[in-house]
Structure 1
Amino acid sequence: MSHTTKNKTKLLARVRRLKGQIEAIERSLEAEVPCGEILNLVASVRGAVTGLTAELIEDHIREHVSNPDKDEDVARAQGAAELIDVIRTYLK
């Protein structure tokens, strides 16, 4: 079973929130809202997409490369944990 299938409900909820944020940008543009407010909305979407991306990459590593919590190969588990930490830091 794929990690996206196991976390399907949670991932779909995040995507639906993103969809709502995108629709808010569209409504703001149609209503000619000041650009500063629209930029804030866009920044929120960017942050949400980045968070979703980080979660998907982390889950991919844990499912298809090495799960640091379960891998018996200590070096591989440590490398996977370090990679996950780097991704979390980079995609903040």
Structure 2
Amino acid sequence: MTHLIHDVARLTPRIRRLKGQVAALEKALAGQPECIAVLTQIAAIRGAAQGLLLEVLEGHMQAHVAGEKNPARRSAEVAAIHKVLRSYLK
């Protein structure tokens, strides 16, 4: 996972944005929020999580799939990605 070490500068702002959105939702729920505001915040959180997932997935595919010379390892990486995406898209 050395690619993650190199991607920290790009991933950290996404994680901080996601944390801020979750904190804002928690704060809103402590008050008297409008339903549509809560739904909007949840949609924003999902979008932020999806953006983070895609960013990490792209790095993983470049580092562990595209350049993998061993067909068995490449196939195993594709299967692992497939499992993650299946879980995410449920």
Q: Deviations over 1:14-73 (max 9, x none)?
A: 101100000000011011211110100000000110111111111101011115xxxxxx
How many residues are treated as equivalent by the alignment? 70
Q: In structure 1, what is the Cα distance between the partners aligned to 2:30 and 2:12? A: 27
Tell me the TM-score normalised to structure 2 length.
Answer: 0.70
Alignment of 1:15-54 (within 5 A): 15-54=15-54
Q: How does 1:74-85 map to 2 (within 5 A)?
A: none
State the match for 1:58 in structure 2.
58
Task: Name the CA distance, whole Å, in 2 between partners of 1:9 and 1:32.
Answer: 37
**Structure 2: which 5+ runs fail to align?**
68-84
Name the structure 2 match of 1:12. 12
TM-score, structure 1 normalization? 0.68
Letter in 1 for 2:16: R
Structure 1 unaligned spans of 5+: 68-86
How many angstroms apart in 2 are the aligned matches of 1:63 and 1:24? 35
- The structure carrying a bigger helix percent of its residues is 2
Structure 2 CA distance for aligned equivalents of residues 39 and 2 of structure 1: 37
TM-align CA RMSD: 2.0
Identity fraction in percent: 39
Distance 1:3 1:42 in 2: 30
